[in-house]
Amino acid sequence: MARIVMKFGGTSVGDCDRIKNVARRVKSEFDRGNEVIVVLSAMSGVTNQLVDYCKQIAPLHDAREYDVVVSTGEQVTIGLLAMALHELGVPARSWVGWQVPVRTDGAHGKARIESIGTEALTQCMADGQVAVVAGFQGIGPEDRVTTLGRGGSDTSAVALAAALKADRCDIYTDVDGVYTTDPRIVAKARKLDKITYEEMLELASLGAKVLQTRSVEMAMKYRVRVQVLSSFVEAPGTLVCDEDEIVEKELVSGIAYSRDEAKITLVKVDDQPGVAAAIFGPLTDANINVDMIVQNVSEDGTHTDLTFTVAKSDLERAIKVLTEKTDLKYGRLVPDSNVVKISVIGMGMRSHAGVAQKMFKTLADKSINILLISTSEIKVSVLISDDYTELALRALHSAYGLDTK
């Protein structure tokens, strides 16, 4: 007997027929003698609709009431799934966040889980029932409903798996696993059997929208084995696991891209101590994240150019902050939002040289100009013109030997 958390995303519970399909998948795990905890999202589109209602009532609404509204989508799906399971003769009970309880901090709209009570759910399973838990929600320090940020039901599932010491956390979604790159762009993309937590974390934060980043961080911290698989086809998915579990290690496991980047160049910045702090300080104060940064060597020793990237959605605000700060001395501000960040990711990079060089050479052979470069232990990223996204992804995918045979 194993203890399994099964999490189903919005498209998997998108209508009543799909909820009945989920009930069948749950029943088959249950019939194998397993203890099953199901975690659900709202029906696809529902949370968006609820967020939209809040905006229509008041653009600057109270975050505590926002949570009351947007957490309701999951309450509908857990009740419906419990009923669908009853129809199949499977004993089941639904649980909203406070009933478990899933205790969080008070950061409404993006709360973090602090602890999970295991007694009630353990009893539920001991009584031979499937526990159907609302994802995305918890209860804050003032006993008010909180939500965990968009996509947060992945995090609910992993947290429950950790707290209940589940043997596996299966995340059912509308894709059948994690791919070497976006299969909509590169037809030869391959589904990975296994990927390490570290690599998945890079892929998740770079916009491969399979799992919420926080859920991967949590899985890594508590060593929860997470499987990403499809709720529509019956086939094994991709296992996110410890490096030791992966026998055949690839140099590069995946290539991610993010179109959510914009570049800002400050031309002719004074080349003296304190300048970077003076520029990035106000951006930090305005809650604007800076990602890649390059400062050129100055030619004359008095001025230099400083280039960096911010999220595309922050570009206008960043420009405003930098132009309104009158004590910053620079010649011109040049924004560019027609850029994409492409990253190659792989644990193998830690022990093998030449991964970055292969990337530069491959792009050079296609005459693609690199605007910015940044590296970390298991990742090399370049910023290039958005016009070359497809070309670059395909060329790199074959250069690193990732194409399907």
Nearest distance in Å: CB 10, Mg ion: 7
Q: Which is nearer to Mg ion, 37 or 363 (CB)?
A: 37
In 3D space, the residue among 12, 356, 404 whose CA is nearest the CA of residue 175 turns out to be 12
Which of Mg ion, ligand ASP, none does residue 152 bind to, with CB < 5 to 8 Å depending on kind?
ligand ASP
Q: Which is nearer to ligand ASP, 77 or 129 (CB)?
A: 77
Residues 6+ apart with CB under 8 A from 155: 113, 148, 149, 212, 214, 215, 218
Q: Which is nearer to Mg ion, 229 or 368 (CB)?
A: 229
Q: Is 122 exposed, middle or buried (0-12, 13-18, 19+ CB in 10 A)?
A: middle
3-state SS track over 326-363: CCCCCCEEEEECCEEEEEEECHHHHCCCCHHHHHHHHH
Token pair 């709720």: residue:
231
The answer for 6, left when phi > 0, alpha when psi is -120 to 50, beta otherwise, is beta
9 binds Mg ion (CB under 5 A): yes
Question: Is the Cβ–Cβ distance between 201 and 208 less than 8 Å?
Answer: no
Instruction: Tell me which stretch binds ligand ASP (CB under 6 A): 57-65, 151-159, 163-171, 256-264.
Output: 151-159
Token pair in block for residue 217: 């961080």
Nearest distance in Å: CB 73, ligand ASP: 5
Site string for Mg ion, 257-296 (x = CB under 5 A): ----------------------------------------
Q: Which is nearer to ligand ASP, 71 or 381 (CB)?
A: 71
Site for ligand ASP in 54-73 (CB under 6 A): 73
Q: Which is nearer to ligand ASP, 71 or 265 (CB)?
A: 71
Site for ligand ASP in 83-142 (CB under 6 A): 135-136
How many residues form the binding site for ligand ASP (CB under 6 A)? 13
Q: Which is nearer to ligand ASP, 73 or 346 (CB)?
A: 73
Q: From start to end of 226-302, where are the E strands? A: 226-230, 238-241, 254-258, 261-270, 290-295
Rounded to whole angstroms, the Cα distance separating 26 from 54 reads 34
Which of Mg ion, ligand ASP, none does residue 271 bind to, with CB < 5 to 8 Å depending on kind?
none
Which of Mg ion, ligand ASP, none does residue 138 bind to, with CB < 5 to 8 Å depending on kind?
none
Residues 6+ apart with CB under 8 A from 340: 257, 258, 259, 261, 383, 384, 385, 386, 388, 389
Site for Mg ion in 102-161 (CB under 5 A): 151
* b (16+ CB within 10 A) / e for 172-182: bbebbbbbbbb
Q: Which is nearer to Mg ion, 9 or 254 (CB)?
A: 9
Instruction: Tell me which stretch binds ligand ASP (CB under 6 A): 147-155, 215-223, 253-261, 359-367.
Output: 147-155
Instruction: Tell me which stretch binds ligand ASP (CB under 6 A): 11-19, 39-47, 341-349, 380-388.
Output: 39-47
**How big is the chain, counted in residues?**
405
Footprint of Mg ion on this chain (CB under 5 A)?
9, 151
